[in-house]
Amino acid sequence: MITRELNTEQAKVDSGVLLETRGLTKHFAVRRGMFGRTVGTIKAVDGVSLRVPSGTTVGLVGESGCGKSTLGRCILRAHEPTSGEILFRREDGSVSDLARLSEKALKPYRRQIRMIFQDPYSSLNPRMTLLQIVGEPLKVNRSLSAGQIEETVAQLLTRVGLRPEYMRRYPNAFSGGERQRVGIARALALEPRLVVADEAVSALDVSVRAQILNLLKDLQQESALTYLFISHDLGVVEYMADEVVVMYVGKAVEVGATEELYHRPLHPYTEALLSAVPDPDPTARREQIVLGGEVADPSNVPTGCPFHPRCFYAKDRCKAEVPALREVLPGRQAACHFAEELSLRGIARTPAG
């Protein structure tokens, strides 16, 4: 039930890629006054092109407000994109542009792309039992009997490390980590192919974070899942992601394989973010780069390179000319005029080349 034929360019999404966005953009109108007059535009996501290969984890990082969640929500079509493409590989290998599908045509994809939310407290309805919470998507999307739903929920709870006998209890009987396991079980109920995890462990105690991250990794192995893993925590992303996309004010400013990007960043913004990652060795001293100024306002983006007011390496050209995201090294992209000349500091704990 695809409403739009893809042109040959779109059909050229690499065969190993499950999701590819091209120039994905989401602008929100800023409205004021009694009549809701539009007085500006928030460029929350501004032309992001990224690829998520099947069976891998792509990490999306950047400071608060850079557009990570908005991008994730556009992929799920929880937000209507302003423009751009969301190319998703179907099970038969063909590619659909989710950005242009009608609500009806989107339905099968809503099963295949699911989300894990940040806050395991507010994202679970306190008046529903685990059976109802985890079983709800099964009810909506499949014609299963009550007994079959119960059986499937029991299996899902077991998969995420919870005892199936808990299914008649309510969320308030559980800890944050256990609730996040429930959220994961719910996300997995319809056997999705892509999971968008938005700050999935940020609200959890440090002590349970590793357990949830390891659970996500185990589930990925078992079911060949693909993750878009959104987090402001670069330490967590280093552990989870095969590739990383760094965002700054709605744009991707650096893309690369995790180990290489952490070892040798190509964008000054990535260098600054990495300098704040705590070193596991308490005796090691790493100098943190403290960025001046605030994160740029997406309704009033600086001219030229959006990062130039905060960048220690900025030159006159940076104020005038927008740097394009381009391949600087094989498989490494950065949006910086001087990426080749700068020798930026990364985190040397991974033995990258």
Ligand X SMILES: Nc1ncnc2c1ncn2[C@@H]1O[C@H](COP(=O)(O)OP(=O)(O)OP(=O)(O)O)[C@@H](O)[C@H]1O
**Which of the ranges 62-70, 98-106, 177-185, 189-197 carries the binding residues for ligand X, by CB under 6 A?**
62-70
Least distance between ligand X and beta carbon 215 (Å): 22
Q: Choosing among ligand X, ligand SF4, Mg ion, none, which partner's interface includes residue 66 (Cβ < 5 to 8 Å by kind)?
A: ligand X
Whole-angstrom distance, CA of residue 123 vs CA of residue 112: 20
Count of positions on this chain that bind Mg ion (CB under 5 A): 1
- 3-state SS of 277-303? CCCCCCCCCCCCCCCCCCCCCCCCCCC
- Site for ligand SF4 (CB under 6 A): which residue of 62, 120, 135, 268? 268
Check residue 25 for interaction with ligand X (CB under 6 A): no
Check residue 308 for interaction with ligand SF4 (CB under 6 A): yes
Check residue 336 for interaction with ligand SF4 (CB under 6 A): yes
100: DSSP letter: G
Check residue 66 for interaction with ligand X (CB under 6 A): yes
Cβ neighbours for 11, distance < 8 A, ≥ 6 positions apart: 94, 95
Whole-angstrom distance, CA of residue 112 vs CA of residue 198: 17
Burial tier of 294 (Cβ tally within 10 Å: 0-12, 13-18, 19+): exposed
Burial tier of 141 (Cβ tally within 10 Å: 0-12, 13-18, 19+): middle
- Site for ligand SF4 (CB under 6 A): which residue of 337, 344, 346, 347? 337
**Which of the ranges 60-68, 255-263, 267-275, 319-327 carries the binding residues for ligand X, by CB under 6 A?**
60-68
Check residue 89 for interaction with ligand SF4 (CB under 6 A): no
Check residue 313 for interaction with ligand SF4 (CB under 6 A): yes
The distance from CA 1 to its chain's CA centroid, rounded to whole angstroms, is 28
Check residue 349 for interaction with ligand X (CB under 6 A): no
Q: Choosing among ligand SF4, Mg ion, ligand X, none, which partner's interface includes residue 337 (Cβ < 5 to 8 Å by kind)?
A: ligand SF4
Cβ neighbours for 328, distance < 8 A, ≥ 6 positions apart: 266, 334, 336, 339, 340
Cβ neighbours for 311, distance < 8 A, ≥ 6 positions apart: 268, 269, 305, 318
Q: Choosing among ligand X, Mg ion, ligand SF4, none, which partner's interface includes residue 298 (Cβ < 5 to 8 Å by kind)?
A: ligand X
SS3 327: strand
- Site for ligand X (CB under 6 A): which residue of 298, 304, 323, 346? 298
Burial tier of 93 (Cβ tally within 10 Å: 0-12, 13-18, 19+): exposed
Check residue 305 for interaction with ligand SF4 (CB under 6 A): yes
Q: Choosing among ligand SF4, ligand X, Mg ion, none, which partner's interface includes residue 268 (Cβ < 5 to 8 Å by kind)?
A: ligand SF4
Instruction: Provide the sign of the torsion angle of the four alpha carbons 296, 299, 305, 308, taken in this order.
Output: negative
Question: At 218, which helix (H) or strand (E)?
Answer: helix 206-223
Check residue 273 for interaction with ligand X (CB under 6 A): no
- Site for ligand X (CB under 6 A): which residue of 159, 169, 232, 349? 232
**Nearer to Mg ion (CB atom), residue 229 or residue 338:** 229
Count of positions on this chain that bind ligand X (CB under 6 A): 13
- Site for ligand X (CB under 6 A): which residue of 2, 17, 28, 110? 28
The distance from CA 9 to its chain's CA centroid, rounded to whole angstroms, is 25
Q: Which residue is nearest to Mg ion (CB)?
A: 69
The distance from CA 349 to its chain's CA centroid, rounded to whole angstroms, is 24
Q: Choosing among ligand X, ligand SF4, Mg ion, none, which partner's interface includes residue 318 (Cβ < 5 to 8 Å by kind)?
A: ligand SF4
The residue among 193, 269, 178 whose CA lies nearest residue 228 is: 193
The residue among 253, 249, 266, 237 whose CA lies nearest residue 329 is: 266
Check residue 38 for interaction with ligand X (CB under 6 A): no
Check residue 239 for interaction with ligand X (CB under 6 A): no
Which residues of this chain interact with Mg ion, rule CB under 5 A?
Answer: 69
Which residues of this chain interact with ligand SF4, rule CB under 6 A?
Answer: 267-268, 305, 307-308, 311, 313-314, 318, 323, 336-338
Which residues of this chain interact with ligand X, rule CB under 6 A?
Answer: 28, 42, 44, 62, 64-70, 232, 298
